[in-house]
Structure 1
Amino acid sequence: ASFLASRGGRVFSIEAMPSIAEHLRAGIVENGLQNVDLYNYAISDPSAKDDLVMALQPWNKGGSAVEGNKPWTLTSGTTKVRVPLTTLDSMLDSEPELRNVLVAKMDIEGNEGRALKGATRLLREAPPCYLMIELQPQWLVRTGTPVEEVGRILSDAGYDVSQIQSTHPQTYRLQQRDLAACLARVAAAVGKSAPAALATSTVLEAAQL
C-alpha cells in the first residue's frame, strides 16, 4: 500500500482499535500522505450488530482481536474497547473507488471469514486482483467460519485457492485465476490514474493505486 501511495494511489486504511488508529493517523500526517484515508471501524458481516467489543493485546497491539475470537480475550483484566462496525459492501456504497483495488491485504485475527461475508457484492462485481490473507484455522472456527468455508468464498470470487490448507495457520498470497482479465478491468477503470490496494488487519487498510 505504501508503494502504491507513493505513486499517487489512494489508500483506504481501516483500523478497529482506536489507540492504533491514532498512531496511524499521526504517521499519515507526519509523512504528508494526502491520499491515505483512515477509518476507525471493525469489519464484519451484515448479521453483526452496530458495534462489537475488541480486546487489546498489551504485548502486541497488532494482535488485538474481537472478544471471544481468541482464548486470552476472555480473561479477566483484559482491556476491552467497544468499536463501531461496518462491512466492505457498505464502504463500497460511499467509496466507489474500492472497485479499482489492485492489491488487498486482510489480517483481522480470525474475523476474515465474517469480513468476506460482508463483501459479497465487492467480491462478485470487482474483486481485488491480488489478495494477501492470514488464515488461522483455530480462530476461524471460533467465529463460525471454518477455513474450508473461507476457501469456498474465495474460490467463488475467482481466486486460485489451491495452496490453502485446513490445518496450519498461514498467510497466503492469492491471485485471480483470470489475472489478465482482472488487471485489464482495473486498468480500464482507472485510466491514467493509479490503481488501488486493499489491506486489512484488526485494521483494514485499502489502497487505490
Structure 2
Amino acid sequence: MATDYLSGWDDWASAFGDWTDISISELHGIMTGIMTVCHAPDTDGWVRLLEEMSFGIPSESALELLTDYAEDVSFALKDKDDAYGYEPLVPDDEHELYERVLALKDWAGGYITGIGVAGVTLSADENELIGTLMEIAAIRLDDEESLEGGEEMWLQLFEFARMVPVSLAVRQRQDVKNLALLKGLSPEAKTANELAAEKLAVPVIDAMASKQ
C-alpha cells in the first residue's frame, strides 16, 4: 500500500480540511463509483453532482483536486493493466488499524452510493461483489481494542474492496450530464440520499468476529 504522500491521502486531507459533509474516503468512494461507468466531468460537473447529492461545495482547490483525481481514476479503470493499480483512499499502515478500517468502511459506503447515483445495472456476480462490499460498509467499530492484531483481516478487506471497481469497470462510459440525477428523476426513482440510506440497511458485522 502506498504512503499517505504517494496515495494522495495528505493532499485530500489538506484540500478538504474545511469541508466536513462526509469523510474524504467516502467522497473518494463516491467519485470512484461514478467513474466506474462515466467519463470524468469538469469542475462544473462536480459542482452539479455535489449539489444534487445535497452536499456543500468545497473550496476551489478541493474541486480541482477532485476533478484531477477523477480523471486519473477514470483513465486508469479503462485500462486493463492500469486498473489493477487502483487503491481506495485510506491512510497508510503507519496509522492505527482502527483508522484504516474506518476509512475503508467509509470508502465502501461511498462507492455503493456512487454506483447508485450512476444508475449501474449489475449482473448476478456483480451483485454478490456489492453485497460483500455492503458488509464492509456496515462493519461495527465499537471497540478499538477488538481490532488489534487484525492486520490479516485488514489486508483481506482492502484487497477485496480495491478490486471491486476493477471488476465493474468493463462497461461503456456515459457522460455525467446524462445521469438521472442531473436530468431529472422520474417519480419512482430513488434520490441520492435514499440510496445512501439504503447502504446502511444491511446486516451489521462485528470487526472482531470477522477475524475469528
When normalised by structure 1's length, the TM-score is 0.30
When normalised by structure 2's length, the TM-score is 0.29
Structure with a larger share of its residues in helix = 2
Structure with a larger share of its residues in strand = 1
